[in-house]
Amino acid sequence: MNQISDTQFQADWLSLREAADHAARDDALLARAAACVRPGMRVLDLGSGTGSTARAFAGAGYDEVQWCFLDTDAAHLQVAKARHPLAECVQASVWDVDALPLEHVGLVTASALLDLMSTAWVDALAERLGQAGIPFYAALSFDGRMRWEPPIAADADVTEAFNRHQRGDKGGQAAMGPDAAALTAKGFEAQGFTVSLADSAWVLGPDDAALQDEFVAGVATAAAQAGEVQAETWARGRRKASGHTALRVGHADLLAVPAGHGPKQDDRR
């Protein structure tokens, strides 16, 4: 999911969440996505941040992928380039679907991005990728569910307010927020893609207290902006308990494969 605060999208937040993101990704769907990339084709990562998707692929043994990272944030791209010197970096917005550089692209990826985007955007992306015959793999879309153990009184109210905020205006259009994976599946299916969904929830424990604390801070800020008056008190209570709290945050991974697109032979083994 996407953290909403003044330090939104900063590299330290991305790096704090990376281990949880990688543990949460569905391994089988990632392997099927990687198998879509034919030799000589590159992978375009939308909203790449510092290149976490490339590291997830490499961690699963797919380390010879030619990456093209696309993001609006120059600082993230600088870190991505330092960590993946062979990758191409494009500083641009994903909103302009017609301008996305699809030459020699065998797979388009995204992670923790779709909840920010609108239904109109995803429908336009599905149409363009359908015309080009390119598969789409989008990991870690927040699905609206957060469950703390043990629970405290305001968890449900804060979650509801947070989800309201997630569906708010981003880039001039209502964001898909927690409905992102379901709406993306619908948009790609309408263009003839075969869509697979998999669970990729974060499962955090007391050892992840730093990530839990930062997550709670972002949730509280967004919930307060959505009018939840208990948000600040709730966050204080949650932070006090994070050393002995379990937290599950629902996410979904999605793979959309265009009609007639067979996977290449998996030559890793």
Ligand X SMILES: C[S@@+](CC[C@H](N)C(=O)[O-])C[C@H]1O[C@@H](n2cnc3c(N)ncnc32)[C@H](O)[C@@H]1O
Candidate ranges 31-39, 47-55, 152-160, 240-248; the one touching ligand X (CB under 6 A): 47-55
Among 66, 78, 95, 164, binds ligand X (CB under 6 A): 95
* Residue 249 found at the interface with ligand X (CB under 6 A): no
The two three-digit tokens of residue 235, written as one number:
């966050």
Q: Least CB distance from residue 237 to ligand X, whole Å?
A: 26
Maximal CA-CA distance, the chain: 55
Task: Report d(CA 220, CA 5) in Å as an integer.
Answer: 9
User: Which amino acid appears at position 59 of this protein?
Assistant: G
| Total interface residues for ligand X by CB under 6 A | 20
For residue 128, the 8-state DSSP code is H
Choices 67-75, 127-135, 153-161, 191-199; region in contact with ligand X by CB under 6 A:
67-75
77 CB-near residues (< 8 Å, 6+ apart): 48, 69, 71, 89, 91
Rounded to an integer, what distance in angstroms lies between the CA atom of residue 164 and that of residue 153? 19
- The minimum distance between CB 138 and ligand X, in angstroms, equals 10
Determine, following the binding rule CB under 6 A, whether residue 111 of this chain makes contact with ligand X.
Answer: yes
Q: Does 84 bind ligand X (CB under 6 A)?
A: no
Specify the residue, 154 or 165, whose C-beta has the smaller distance to ligand X.
165
Out of 36, 37, 113, 114, name the contact with ligand X by CB under 6 A. 113
Single residue of 94, 185, 197, 222 touching ligand X by CB under 6 A: 94
Distance CA 230, CA 66 (A): 47
Amino acid symbol at 135: P
Cα within 13 Å of Cα(112), Cβ side: 25
Q: Exactly one of 4, 20, 112, 249 binds ligand X (CB under 6 A); which one?
A: 112
**The only residue of 49, 130, 187, 250 in contact with ligand X, by rule CB under 6 A:** 49
The position carrying tokens 């629970």 is 151
Q: 145 Cβ partners below 8 Å, 6+ apart?
A: 159, 178, 201, 248, 249, 250
Interface with ligand X (CB under 6 A): 2, 9, 14, 21, 47-49, 52-53, 71-73, 76, 93-95, 111-113, 116
